[in-house]
Amino acid sequence: MRSVSLMDKGTAVNSARRRTAAWILFAVALVAFPFVITNPTYTSIGVFAVIFMACATAWNFFSGFSGYISLGHGVFYGLGGYTIALLSNHLGMSGGYAIFWLVPVGGLVAVVVAIPFAMVALRTRRRTFIVITLAIFWLFQLSAYNFGFTGGAGGLQIPSPSWSPSFFNLPFYFAALLLLGLAFALSLGVRKSRFGLQLLAIRDDEERARGLGVKVWPVKVSALVLSAFVTGMAGAIWAYFIGQIFPQFAFDPVFGVTIALMTFLGGIGTLAGPMLGALILESSQQYLSLQFSNGSVFLVAFGALFLFVLLFIPKGIVPGVSSWLADRRASRTQRASDAGGPPLHLGASLPTSAESGGR
């Protein structure tokens, strides 16, 4: 039994090291991407992919951790876009790096709106909550069409930087990458904190969580506000990158469904799942849209992909793969136990007593 326990400990240590190494490699790959792949077509796909990775991560640390499935996050995305468009025009700014300073303002405007949004929507649950978030979303889209200061159906133009075509995508890519880093740090902090445990308790059984002393209302509102902040900044970066904004695209009804599907594909409630799902789906959508004149081809591919996921990995890619690896490790552990002890070569991977004491 002691041998099996030591082997389990060594396996856990090695697993943690592999996860850390995987995250480092992933971060390095994201940073290196625009320098390795310099074609502007592919770097523009990278900009969109990273923006949606940030959005899916932000959506996950509200909806994924709390269990409240929101389809109204397009409100915050559109508000961020309109904020940067309105302010850059009102201040008479020329295109360049200075406009990036307006990105956090887009996030703050989204936060201001998220508070009354939460006050209304979070009084409901489950299917009613989904319907309410959609209703609020349509209210904002109709307002963008009808208010004069938004430009109505004619939209607004945003000052465009005078950067060369080969360089143009880089500032937007790294701005989006910084936002993704912030979204991931928030997600990790939420997941490993008491606040995150309270959200998970609400997801499992809200009434029981309230009975155990969880302040349900402030926790839910705080999570939604944090999610809105990141989503609003993502919308601001997107609008500046596009260079123009229209109500039907800023407040796109497909947006809320898309980030939800990205998260479910990768694995809802996980750290890596939303980023992986967004990377796969948004990159595929952009690539297929460029390759085929029929802009709906990607919908067929998405349908086939989700059918595969539902049939073979219904919990999402990350939980499905993790479960498969855990089963393999358990099988190896059982075989080693049945054989009378762990194989000798596994001992090399176990930490020594000196190493354990130094940690």
71 located within any domain: yes
State the pTM of this model.
0.87
pLDDT greater than 50 at residue 338: yes
Q: In the numeric block, which tokens belong to residue 273?
A: 């799942």
255 located within any domain: yes
Q: In the numeric block, which tokens belong to residue 111?
A: 């936060």
pLDDT greater than 70 at residue 12: no
Domain hosting 177: range is: 37-270
Burial class (CB in 10 A: 0-12, 13-18, 19+), 40: middle
134 located within any domain: yes
Q: What percent of the chain has pLDDT over 70?
A: 86
24 located within any domain: no
* Total tally of structural domains belonging to the chain: 1
Query: Over the stretch 240-282, which tens digit does the pLDDT of each residue have?
Result: 999 999 999 999 988 998 899 899 989 998 999 999 999 999 9
353 located within any domain: no
Query: Over the stretch 276-324, which tens digit does the pLDDT of each residue have?
Result: 999 999 998 888 777 776 556 666 777 777 677 778 777 888 887 777 7
312 located within any domain: no
258 located within any domain: yes
339 located within any domain: no
pLDDT greater than 90 at residue 55: yes
